[in-house]
Structure 1
Amino acid sequence: MFNVRGVGWNWPRGLVLPKPTFETESRTTFVLLSTARLALFVFGFDACIQMMRILGPDTFGSLNGGSLFDHTLPPLLELARAVLMSFLTIWMGYFMVQWSYHVLSVVCIILLQQQPSQWPPLFDSPWLSTSLTEFWGRRWHQMMRELLVTLGMQPFSYLFGRLGGVFGAFLFSGLFHDIELRAFGRGGNSVAVIGFWVMNSVGVVLERVWQKTTGRRVGGVWGWVWTFGWLGLWGVWVVDAWAMSGRFGTLSLPGEFEPSVVLVRFVRRCVGS
């Protein structure tokens, strides 16, 4: 039910599983490590939300939503604020998927007596990516890989060739994310949401054109700048679409628990005393 990557099955194609930092077959050790990571990811998720709400209380702290762009600010400061919120959203999504995955892993290891090897890491240090190809193809989570290959890449490759397959995979990813946003029941912006994924397919194609033209792969420091510059540039518009729909106003931990707020209050009491 939860093994969408096909770990241990023979149907995933081209799936690369990240190696765990601490490899163990002990269920007890794995559960303890996963619980510690779970706490860290929960804290990171909440910290991102709180920072975003501080930067835009009317945008991220309300179901009414609002634009990412504040036209009362000078243009450069307005853009910097929007880009910062865009990257905070990426981190928030990373932490949210991670803590959800670790909850499932702990439950399945304890209740179903599964093996730690059945729960390899979900991400492979995506912040180290030096190309969009590396980011989307290996380092970001691969939970939708088989679905996108089957529904997007294969049909489009058949019709339009290999580069068309790249476009098809990203197009279907955009469609899925647009449906997710609209399922929230507050509308959306298909051009911005689907456009983000389509432009990432354009970025991947540009990398292949660069490699074919120069004989060198995108990589290194400039590859890192290119990767996160491209993600930040197009990410601003999809994050703005989510903000406008009020999507961020519903994001919280179960029970409205706010660990980062609790920690700040605790530190303030300690300093004050």
Structure 2
Amino acid sequence: MTLGRSPHIIATFLTLVTLAALARQPGTRFLRLAILPFAVILTLRLTYGFVWWDLPLNGISLIAGCYSVLTIMKALQLGLSPNGILKLGEKVPGEITVPAADLVAQDPPKRVARAPGSLTLVEHFLSGLEVLASARGIGWEFGSGTKIQIPPETRDVSDTSKFLRQTYQSAVIHFLYADLLGVFISLVPGIGTPDGGSTFVFGQNTVERYSISALLHFITSIFLINNLHFVYNLMTLIGVGCIGQHPTSWPPVISTTVTTSTSMHSFWARDWHQILRQTFLTLGGYPFQAIFGSSGLIWGAFLASGVLHIWALYVIGAAPTGTR
């Protein structure tokens, strides 16, 4: 991956934004179906055709592999939805122009209803970005009835400047934590490559080996969570600081951490998987539910989770079958 590949990045991004913007317009079903194959092919080409092979940078390729699965599932949702993507209370996509997250805020701004065709090109672009960023479905019809857990806000949403400062401080703190933990993990021999290995090779006896392995897994989890917080804070700064969205449009992403969660259900189902829920349901849950019923919804979602991780590893050179 080099700067010379930037046209591929721009083409993929614009195709996805166009597909998302059309999903917010009525009567665009067949046009979205026509664009959908191009969005999928461009995403696959960008992800699996241009990668970082250097060991210090292959983590970026791993993240790109995860992102490609998420993007493709989002593209399928956008392209295959018969009536487009609706916000809560809409009958026709594009009627409500306030951010979807504001529709479920405690003190939401006044709804603004406009004819979808009256939007400017910039407004269409921003509308597409909003759809692409709607991972949890907060304020959207596809997220209704799923008991989305919105963590309590700890920042001052009444003062945009103070909100941005608090978000920036959080981004810096999480970045430093992630960087420190990433350096520590990279010092462990054999960690960070797709060639295979084991975390149980360290230690003189069974107790030491399992203790060290558990510690490595715990540190890796903290590393991933801090990266998630950093990226979300960065997106919040762009959305609120650059685009001018209201702070309530960016509620906290996770309310607990590994050290503060009271149960696996609280951390895994109510926080962590809120972000990936729609992806797992689209990829495996809904198709398996159509065949096997309610039990298929559960097994299909877990299968989709496995596909996400396996294909992300495939990007950095691991065989998708797990063989070497």
Counterpart of 1:106 in structure 2 is: 237
2:287 equivalent in structure 1: 155
How does the TM-score come out when normalised to structure 2? Answer: 0.52
Deviations 1:155-209 (A, max 9, x none): 323333333321211110110121112112x2156569xxxxxxxxxxxxxxxxx
Cα 1:130–1:191 shift into 2, 3 Å: farther
Q: Which residue of 1 aligns with 2:266?
A: 134
- Structure 2 spans left out of the alignment, 5+ residues: 1-131
Q: Is 1:183 equivalent to 2:299 in the alignment?
A: no
What residue in structure 1 maps to residue 304 of structure 2? 172
Q: Write 1 or 2 for the structure with the bigger share of helix.
A: 1
> SS at the partner of 1:6?
coil
1:25 aligned partner, one-letter code: S
Percent identity of paired positions between Structure 1 and Structure 2: 25
Which residue in 2 is equivalent to 1:119? 250
Q: Which amino acid aligns with 2:251?
A: P
Matched residue, 2:31: none
**Map of 2:152 onto structure 1:** 19
Counterpart residue identity of residue 231, structure 2: S
Mapping of residues 36-51 of structure 1, within 5 Å: 36-51=169-184
Residue matched to 2:164:
31
Deviation at 1:97, TM superposition (A): 1.0
Cα deviation code 1:90-148 (max 9, x no counterpart): 11110111101111110121111011111111112043444443333212252221122
Q: What CA deviation, in whole Å up to 9, does each residue of 1:4-44 have, x standing for no partner?
A: 22333222141222121234132211110010001110111
1:88 positional shift: 0.7
Q: CA deviation at 1:64?
A: 7.0
Distance in 1 of aligned mates of 2:274 and 2:192: 30
Partner of 2:209: 78
The one-letter code matched in structure 2 to 1:26 is D
- Higher RCO (CA < 8 A, seq sep 6+): 1
Alpha-carbon distance change, 119 to 174 in structure 1, aligned in 2, over 3 angstroms: same
* CA–CA separation in structure 1 for the residues paired with 2:284 and 2:193: 36
CA distance in structure 1 between the partners assigned to 2:218 and 2:272 by the alignment: 15
Cα distance, 1:71–1:121 mapped onto 2, change above 3 Å: closer
Aligned 8 A contact 1:25 1:115 in 2: no
Higher mean C-alpha deviation, range 105-114 or range 59-68: 59-68
Task: Determine the C-alpha separation between the residues in 1 that align with 2:256 and 2:215.
Answer: 20
TM-score (norm 1): 0.61
**Residue 179 of structure 2: SS of its match in structure 1?**
helix
Compared CA separation, residues 11 and 64, structure 1 to 2 (3 A)? closer
In the alignment, structure 1 residue 89 sits paired with structure 2 residue 220: yes
**Matched pairs, number:** 190
User: For residues 196 and 293 of structure 2, what CA distance do their matches in structure 1 show?
Assistant: 41
Counterpart residue identity of residue 50, structure 1: V
Gaps (5+ residues) in structure 1?
193-244, 246-273
SS in 2 for 1:67: coil
* Residues 34, 106 of structure 1: 8 Å contact kept: yes
More off after superposition, 145-154 vs 77-86: 145-154
Question: Contact 1:124 / 1:140 at 8 angstroms: preserved in 2?
Answer: no
Secondary structure at the counterpart of residue 158 of structure 1: helix
Report the residue type matching 1:21 in the other structure. T
